[in-house]
A = this chain, B = another copy of it.
Amino acid sequence: MRRALASSRLALGAGRRTRGRWGDSSRPWTRRASSFGETPPDDLRRLGRPERDFFRFDVIHESKRSRARVGEIRTPHGVVRTPGFVSVGTNAALKAVHHETLDAAGLDLMFANTYHLMLQPGAETVEALGGVHEMMGRRRPTITDSGGFQVFSLGTPERRSEAKELKSRNPTKHRRENLLLEVSEEGAMFRSYRDGTKMTLTPESSVAAQKAIGADIIIPLDELPPYDIDDNALRESVARSHRWMTRSLRAHLSDVRQQAMYGVVHGGVDRDLRRASVEYLSALPFDGMAIGGSLGRDSTELGSLLEFLMPLMPKDMPNHLLGISDVENVDRAVMLGVDTFDSAYTTQVARHGTLFTHSRGRINFRRAEFRRSREPACHECDCTLCSKHSLGYLHHLDRANEPLAWTLASEHNLFYMGQKMARVRERILNDEI
């Protein structure tokens, strides 16, 4: 769990004491924030819940045993079955995995990162290549984030280790420097990790980039304060995120195209702030809701917060959990009503030796005991690894540094998640969970 959180975009600063731009904190978070004063702008509130002919969420079945539900998100590029695992293809590609694998694994939605695509090949180039679907040759549902996560998490060296997916062809001296230059009401000024170029990300420029990229679902810019931020600073940060999201929504609504926008609930582990954030964002014409910001120091805090938060979330729209989908937390999140969750964790750990299996739980294929194993990784899986290869072969490929090892292991973990979610949907339909 610790590793899962550490690799997710929800665990920024978890377990650390940082002094910085968000204020001072020399004690663990205890105080409940007071009520949250701002109200969403009237003109946007009056628009009410949007009706889209290109985007729709249907709940097919609600479990009689929990808040879990089976649903379908209809997008211009097809249906996303929920509850569903969202695979992360940072650069509009999964690491060492063909797109076809996602279809074979039953994974409908792919998450791409605006920050990465802005830097390479550039949002305009994605547009020139026909938009992200056309560019990557996968005409299936896609979601992009605002780019803010990377700007904030990579901004300061001490937080950068938590975003390991970021790799540069030619790491420059800029990687060792503070890349986050200034955060103001306007937006965030930062340096490109690739070449040091100064760039500014504002609510409007993030929306413009996501218009050019053209994913089916887009996300407005938010601020990402660390876990142990001072309570006043957190309240201010949430208020700023709300103002940024309101500006993002205006920019989006002036040129909707065929895109849906999700709001992002903030408030850290402060329940009053979380409640206020849900209320604020629910009054705005978003098409879905995401849960962002720090969700706690460990699995217990995460569970506790989700138990409080999920009943407050709007039930008539998709609820997405940002950056957490480690196997251990999926079942609990589903039972609390989460519809989709993303994380690069599933494939990241595959490249480092971990396979999830239905029959044996989590196994590390680098262990010496598998050197001469002629067994498949999992008897219940029909991915290439499990249907054609032995654990001994995978162990060998990995030791020999063959990229095929990453491919086979990543594919397997994606299949595992696809199969797991298919079973989860089946069990919800049968009111078993």
Q: How far is the CA of A92 from the CA of B396 in the complex (A)?
A: 9
User: Contact mask A387-405 → B, CB, 8 Å, 1/0?
Assistant: 0111011011101111110
Binds B, one of A16-24, A47-55, A128-136, A413-421: A128-136
Q: Is the C-beta of A167 less than 8 angstroms from some C-beta in chain B?
A: yes
Contact between B120 and A404 (Cβ–Cβ < 8 Å)? Answer: no
Q: A125-B371, A390-B135 are in contact. Are A96 and B401 (CB under 8 A)?
A: no
Please provide the 5 A-B residue pairs with the shortest distance between their CB atoms, ordered closest to farther: A91-B400, A96-B403, A137-B388, A121-B396, A128-B372
Q: How far is the CA of A402 from the CA of B401 in the complex (A)?
A: 16
Q: Is the C-beta of A429 less than 8 angstroms from some C-beta in chain B?
A: no
Contact between A406 and B404 (Cβ–Cβ < 8 Å)? Answer: no
Across-interface contacts of A300 in B (CB, < 8 A)? none
- Of A94, A116, A384, A393, chain B has the most CB atoms within 10 Å of the CB of A393
Q: Is the C-beta of A168 less than 8 angstroms from some C-beta in chain B?
A: yes
Across-interface contacts of A384 in B (CB, < 8 A)? 98, 100
Q: Is the C-beta of A97 less than 8 angstroms from some C-beta in chain B?
A: yes
Contact between A137 and B96 (Cβ–Cβ < 8 Å)? Answer: no
Q: Is the C-beta of A95 less than 8 angstroms from some C-beta in chain B?
A: yes
List 14 extra interface pairs beyond A125-B372, A129-B396, A135-B396, CB under 8 A: A91-B397, A92-B393, A93-B397, A93-B400, A99-B388, A116-B400, A121-B400, A129-B390, A136-B393, A168-B401, A169-B399, A169-B400, A169-B401, A403-B403
* Chain B, residue nearest A403 (CB): B96
Q: Is the C-beta of A206 less than 8 angstroms from some C-beta in chain B?
A: no
Residues in chain A within 8 A of chain B (CB atoms): 91-100, 116, 120-121, 125, 128-130, 134-137, 167-169, 371-372, 374, 384, 388-390, 392-393, 395-397, 399-404, 406-407
Contact between B404 and A98 (Cβ–Cβ < 8 Å)? Answer: yes
Contact between A95 and B388 (Cβ–Cβ < 8 Å)? Answer: no
Q: How far is the CA of A44 from the CA of B422 in the complex (A)?
A: 64
- Of A97, A99, A372, A374, chain B has the most CB atoms within 10 Å of the CB of A372
Q: How far is the CA of A167 from the CA of B137 in the complex (A)?
A: 32
Quickly give the copy total for this chain. Answer: 2
Q: How far is the CA of A86 from the CA of B93 in the complex (A)?
A: 30
| Contact of A402 (CB < 8 Å), options: B91, B392, B399 | B91
Contact between A392 and B95 (Cβ–Cβ < 8 Å)? Answer: no
Across-interface contacts of A372 in B (CB, < 8 A)? 125, 128-129
Contact between B403 and A91 (Cβ–Cβ < 8 Å)? Answer: no
Contact between B393 and A135 (Cβ–Cβ < 8 Å)? Answer: yes
Q: How far is the CA of A168 from the CA of B402 in the complex (A)?
A: 10
Q: How far is the CB of A398 from chain B (nearest CB, A)?
A: 9
| Contact of A97 (CB < 8 Å), options: B136, B168, B404 | B404
12 contacts between A and B (CB under 8 A): A91-B400, A93-B402, A97-B404, A99-B388, A120-B399, A121-B395, A121-B399, A130-B374, A134-B374, A136-B393, A137-B388, A137-B389
Contact between A403 and B95 (Cβ–Cβ < 8 Å)? Answer: yes
Across-interface contacts of A125 in B (CB, < 8 A)? 371-372, 392, 396
* Chain B, residue nearest A91 (CB): B400
Q: How far is the CA of A397 from the CA of B116 in the complex (A)?
A: 12
Q: How far is the CA of A120 from the CA of B400 in the complex (A)?
A: 7
Contact between B135 and A392 (Cβ–Cβ < 8 Å)? Answer: yes
Contact between B404 and A403 (Cβ–Cβ < 8 Å)? Answer: no
Q: How far is the CB of A393 from chain B (nearest CB, A)?
A: 5
